Amino acid sequence: MERAQRILCVDDEDFNLELLETLLVPHGYEVETASDGKAALELLSKKTIDLVLADVNMPVMNGHELCRAVQADPDLRHIPVVMITSLDNRENKLKSMEAGAAEFLSKPIDPAELLLRVRNMLGYRAYEEAFTYLIHSLARAAEANDIDTGNHILRVGEYSALIARELGLPEKYVENLRLQATLHDVGKVHVPSHILRKDGPLDAAEMEEMKKHPGFGALIIGDHPRLESGRKIALCHHEKWDGTGYPEGLKGEQIPLEARIVAIADCYDALRNSRVYKPCYDHAGAVRIITEGDARLKPEHFDPKVLEIFKRVAPQLEALYEKMKDAPPPGGGGTLMIK
């Protein structure tokens, strides 16, 4: 049986918690309670929570701080936080939005509004989760013929999001990039596995085959507006800033920004990963090759601004690599990896 949807209510006043509980429990929701942001975070680290309803003014850690902490944690940021506030003013709403609140409710609580907002938020979340799950499934399907790259596709998404955030891009762009960067190599499903898994460098004809994967990727993703950045990334992640990349030989800002970001993220992870035909590098080795170049790679291949950010966040990239290299893939382990 499916578990009931679980809502964490956070308020320093017991009366308000009891009220929320009284309203939500008869509608089949499970309710957990916490009296401040810190206690809420502790609970979130232990239990699966689907939605947070949080008061703004609380001791120890207020609602805005809680919201920001949820947003900053990769394991929690998918959970919508609804702010409940009696301070129904513009400044407070802007602060809540800035902190990443998904919705607002005003005190005193209107029971009908509360239930509708909760139902809508949980419904929207289910749709978003299904969308994310399918994107990851598509990305994993394309890896079926490839050598075992572990969580390569997910790591590239995380590195790309980190770089985009550091570039000052909006939160929505960052989140979208985190997801759609995972589609960068989806076109490899059309590349014969004897090429993908070859134990040695590719000859000229094999390289030509390999160079078709960006075009195939763009074709597979198609032209749905919701997947526009995924299509750009798949098509352009092997283009190089100095114009020496493929498939089009685009130069500089002709290359979409999301593809310029994914290019460096993909490169870092490929260097870290053990591949049959080349050695894998430790963090310092991979950073050195990207920033100083070697026989194949040149720093001129990358957008200088993105390269600067890469250098700045390199320690965080290393931490992500270490955290994710052995983690089980999402989706209950239903992967298609071939050893």
Least separation, in Å, of the C-beta of 163 and Fe ion? 17
> Which residues have CB under 8 Å from 49's CB, separation 6+?
6, 7, 8, 32, 43, 79
Least separation, in Å, of the C-beta of 187 and Fe ion? 8
Least separation, in Å, of the C-beta of 165 and Fe ion? 23
The residue (of 185 and 258) whose beta carbon lies closer to Fe ion is: 185
Distance CA 339, CA 211 (A): 24
Least separation, in Å, of the C-beta of 184 and Fe ion? 6
Least separation, in Å, of the C-beta of 237 and Fe ion? 6
The residue (of 152 and 165) whose beta carbon lies closer to Fe ion is: 152
Query: In the β-sheet with 103-106, what is the strand arrangement from edge to edge?
Result: 30-34, 6-10, 51-55, 81-85, 103-106
According to CB under 5 A, which residues from 145 to 174 bind Fe ion? none
According to CB under 5 A, which residues from 184 to 203 bind Fe ion? 185
First and final C-alpha spacing in the chain:
35
The residue (of 185 and 303) whose beta carbon lies closer to Fe ion is: 185
Closest CA to 152 of 167, 162, 142: 142
Q: Which stretch binds Fe ion (CB under 5 A): 125-133, 173-181, 182-190, 268-276?
A: 182-190
The residue (of 97 and 337) whose beta carbon lies closer to Fe ion is: 337
Q: 149 phi and psi, to 5 degrees?
A: -105, 15
Q: Which stretch binds Fe ion (CB under 5 A): 98-106, 183-191, 296-304, 320-328?
A: 183-191
Can you say how many angstroms the Cα of residue 232 is from the centroid of all Cα atoms in its chain? Answer: 17
55: which strand partners? Answer: 84
Least separation, in Å, of the C-beta of 288 and Fe ion? 22
Q: How many residues belong to the site for Fe ion (CB under 5 A)?
A: 1
214 membership: H or E segment, kind and range: helix 213-221
Distance CA 239, CA 252 (A): 9
Least separation, in Å, of the C-beta of 69 and Fe ion? 35
60 sits in the region (left: phi over 0; alpha: psi -120 to 50; else beta) called: left
Residue nearest to Fe ion (CB): 185
The residue (of 36 and 185) whose beta carbon lies closer to Fe ion is: 185
The residue (of 32 and 185) whose beta carbon lies closer to Fe ion is: 185
The residue (of 53 and 265) whose beta carbon lies closer to Fe ion is: 265
Query: Strand, coil or helix: what is 215?
Result: helix
Give contact residues for Fe ion (rule: CB under 5 A). 185
